[in-house]
Amino acid sequence: MKRYDSITAIKAVACILVLTTHWTGAFGGFGVGLVDRNLGWGIMRFLGYGTMCVHVFLMLSGVLISMKVLRGKSYSWPQEAIRRYLRLSVPIFGTSVLVIFCQRAGLLWNLAAAPYAPTDFLGMFYETPIPLYKGITLPFVQSIFLGDSSLYGPLWMIPYIFYGTFFSIILSEVARGLKGKGQTLLYLLMAAAFLLMGGYYVNFYLGNLIAFLLLRLEERRENGGTRREKLLTACAGAVFLAVGIKLALDAFILAAREWVHLGTPTLNDANFWLAVGGAAASFGFILLWEALLSGRQLRLAKPILWVGERSYSVFLTHWLVICTFSSWFYLHFYDRGNPKLSIALNFVLSLALTLAASHGFYELLEKRTAHFLWNRAKRLLKDGNTAP
């Protein structure tokens, strides 16, 4: 399957903005109904876009799964379920072990720092001891199937990623079996259903729709796309990007005031428009990248793609860094010397530590452990299918 570097680049931006949203929520005055005046103007608003980026992560997951099915590549339901299960649960297990270890070792400083922080963000977790059994049950059962985020807040979205796999497969199979007007009618009916009912699975619908459109663009290129078509693609990308950011920005301001981060998206809800705006902006970015940068070797692209490949590990490690190192630093150095310089240094060091931790997670858990277990599972499934 064609590698879309543009999607990896979006993942990089999204995971960093989730980090900045949680970090500024803890130390910068953004969160729980507050928008700090320093984050209320210009490009600084983007530091709080983590709510939108959660929707973007779900949507991109739908894009990648839908691409595979819409292309007609062979797949197996049991294999897809096991692959996704291992992909999600093995890194969560590493996170759970670290969280429990840090609590037992007294390294979770967030509760101590909470009274001095501008919001109550830091006081939301780890008030009571975590039982050891959660180190096994939460990563492999509760977080995947029950949406239990009591040990680690970001895990609330894991069931959507897991079950969204099957939603994307089914929708892709139905769309692939239809032609022309049938496909158009399917997507219109699905859009009407989500407008009425809302729900986080709207992100997977949007991801499927984007995958469908991208494949149509690929077909046109293979049939001899002209320079004029490439220019039109870039212009369309710029329009989608601008409209998506505008939609998301307006919805973000509403979401920040009402603090509806965990609400269920509906038509009159800020989260719904964050999802639509995030999808539109992402689609526009993909079009621009593919029209202008595809096939070019850019030095700036390498570090962006490096972060994007580790985006899931950044997602899993950043809040633990905030609760340990960032909180310790804030507790001990914020009132010494220059507070602004101290908070800036805290952010830079927290970002560096998160990237270092995510690299370790990626190499050890995502690439090696999960991959090893997946290869073993494939062999067992293959042996089971060939048994007399």
Q: What is the mean pLDDT of each run of 10 residues along the chain (388 residues)?
A: 82 92 77 45 60 89 92 81 93 94 94 86 86 90 89 89 93 90 92 84 94 87 71 90 84 53 56 87 92 73 92 95 94 77 88 96 94 86 59
- Length of the chain equals 388
Residue pair 256/274 in contact (Cβ under 8 Å)? The answer is no
pTM for the whole thing? Answer: 0.88
The pLDDT assigned to 194 comes to 87
Comparing CA positions, the residue from 281, 263, 267 lying closest to residue 59 is: 281
For residue 134, being part of any structural domain is answered with yes
Beta bridge partners of 31: 34
Give the separation between CA 260 and CA 238, rounded to whole angstroms: 29
Residue 4: the pLDDT is 84
Cα 23 from Cα 40, distance rounded (Å): 16
* Amino acid 261: pLDDT: 46
**Residue 255 pLDDT:** 53
Q: How far apart are CA 369 and CA 354, in angstroms?
A: 20
Residue 126 belongs to a domain: yes
Domain boundaries, position 38: 5-379
What pLDDT is recorded for position 237? 92
Buried-exposed string 110-137: b where 16+ CB fall within 10 A, e elsewhere: beebbeebbbebbbbbbeeebeeebbee
Q: Specify the pLDDT at position 163.
A: 94
Is the residue at 387 inside a domain?
Answer: no
User: So what's the pLDDT on residue 222?
Assistant: 67
Look at residue 296 and tell me if it is in a domain.
yes
Q: What pLDDT is attached to residue 384?
A: 57
- For residue 49, the model assigns a pLDDT of 67
In a domain, 385, yes or no: no
- Residue 26's pLDDT is 85
Question: Does 304 reside within a domain?
Answer: yes
Residue 352, SS3? helix
Residue 87 covered by a domain: yes
Number of other residues whose CB lies within 10 A of the CB of residue 17: 20
Q: Number of C-alpha atoms within 13 angstroms, CB side, residue 289? A: 20
Q: How far is CA 355 from CA 226, 310, 313, 359, 361, in A?
A: 41, 8, 9, 6, 10
Residue indicated by tokens 């962006």: 304
The predicted structure's pLDDT at residue 259: 44
How many domains, in total, are found in the chain? 1
Q: Tell whether 386 is covered by a domain.
A: no
